[in-house]
Amino acid sequence: MPETENPRSYVRVVALPIPTHKGLKITARNATLYTCEFPTRREVAKENYERRKFQMTHCGYRSFNYKPYQSLGEVYLDERSLILDALGQSQRGSVGLRDLTNQV
């Protein structure tokens, strides 16, 4: 793989932009995994249930046939933009399908 396509050449080594569990109680752990007390398992299960219910009734197999499909997010045609945006390191606006169609 040429050096220009290697992600190590343009990805900075920084922490991910996700909330930390530092200072919160741990309910179970082993050598590689741990379970934090917040959010509770009941809250996570309820959130997953509501998301799945919404997807099944509005976006998926049992949705209305007269409603168009909804977009799940940006379509990246450039792997560099995809990697940087997934890691929260995009410096400029993401290059998506809409950006490329406006250029043509």
Q: Tens digits of per-residue pLDDT, 26-51?
A: 887 888 888 788 888 899 899 999 99
Omega of the bond prior to 7 within 30 degrees of 0, cis? no
Q: Do 85 and 98 share a domain, yes or no?
A: yes
Note whether residue 80 is domain-resident: yes
Residue 68 predicted with pLDDT over 60: yes
Instruction: Give the span between the Cα atoms of 50 and 10, in whole angstroms.
Output: 38
Number of helices followed by number of strands (H, E) in the chain: 3, 2
Give the global pTM: 0.45
Note whether residue 58 is domain-resident: yes
Q: Residue 98 is part of which domain span?
A: 72-104
Number of domains observed in the structure of the chain: 2
